[in-house]
Amino acid sequence: MMQMQQFENLKNGLLVRAPAKLNLSLLIAGRRPDGFHEIETIMAKIDWYDEIRIEPAQKTGIELLCQGPHWAPQDQSNLVYRAAQEILQASGQPHNVRLTLTKNIPAGSGLGSASSDAAATLIGLNAYLNLGLSRSQLMEAATRLGSDVAFFLSGPLAFCTGRGEKIQELPKGFDFTAILILPDVSSSTKEVYANYTHDGVLYRRLSTQIGTYIAKKRIDSAAGMCVNMLARSCFHLHEELRRLKEAVESLGVEPVCLSGSGSTLFSIVQVGEAEHLERLRGAIADKTGCGTVVVRNNRW
């Protein structure tokens, strides 16, 4: 996957790229009084992108079109539309914009594409329309839109807590290559959390260990733990994902981790193994029938 810049000026508009993410670790601290779960996660942007084209609209207000290999709603349920509403209301000025979302990253895959699309819309419209909104204003809008949106205004590597909206950016320096395994399964975040059973003892042990690695700036060691406390719940709901993980590991690809609430599985490979990626992709396809994508950590 080629590293690209986030913004690309067009003849009559602006193209904004929205990177996917991986949860290099994901812990659940427990349920909050508001019903949400408190999380601790290391998130990293990767160089696989949705794209949002911003242009003048032919009609009043916000016009949203969706295209690409994966489906996305073309109405107000789409976070791109809601993000546009948020920032245009914050500007206090009427604007007519046409947004074309090219959906390259599947929804329900644990890669955060909808949240990233929302963040890209916020910063893209802020730049394209010269609105001059501050970072704090953008972060406030991001928090209203969803738990992961704030991360995509930050990064590219961060330790996120709360519902995911509290961002502690981590120093750059953890470069990685990963192979993503993409099953034809859409995993519902809501259902995975509803099915989750908390293990406080396990959480405290893992949190201490990962906290130590973060303090020592050993993000590679934290990622190598391949910890995701939602995996058990996700695999209970989608037994086929457990079998897929076992099938991929039987090929010698390990550890195989779950990103977010699923359904994407991934494995970080050593730089020296890069020449074997095509062989691994072929072996995974032959064994499982699943598509794969090779990604690297994003630079922005």
How far apart, in Å, are the Cα atoms of 204 and each of 43, 198, 210, 252?
20, 11, 10, 31
Q: Any catalytic annotation for residue 287? A: no
Peptide bond into 33 cis (omega under 30): no
Active site residue 172: no
Amino acid at 243: R
User: How far apart (Å, rounded) are the C-alpha atoms in residues 221 and 219?
Assistant: 5
Of these residues, 47, 50, 117, 148, which one is catalytic?
A: 148
The tokens for 145 are 């839109």
Q: Which of 21, 45, 103, 245 is catalytic?
A: 21
- 3-state SS string over the chain? CCCCCCEEEECCEEEEEEEEEEEEEEEEEEECCCCCEEEEEEEEEEEEEEEEEEEECCCCCEEEEEECCCCCCCCCCCHHHHHHHHHHHHHCCCCCEEEEEECCCCCCCCCCHHHHHHHHHHHHHHHHCCCCCCHHHHHHHHHHHCCCHHHHCCCCEEEEEECCCEEEECCCCCCCEEEEEECCCCCCHHHHHHCCCCCHHHHHHHHHHHHHHHHCCCHHHHHHCCCECCHHHHHHHCHHHHHHHHHHHCCCCCCCEECCCCCCEEEEECHHHHHHHHHHHHHHHHHHCCEEEEEEECCC
Distance CA 75, CA 64 (A): 7
Which residues are known to be catalytic? 21, 148
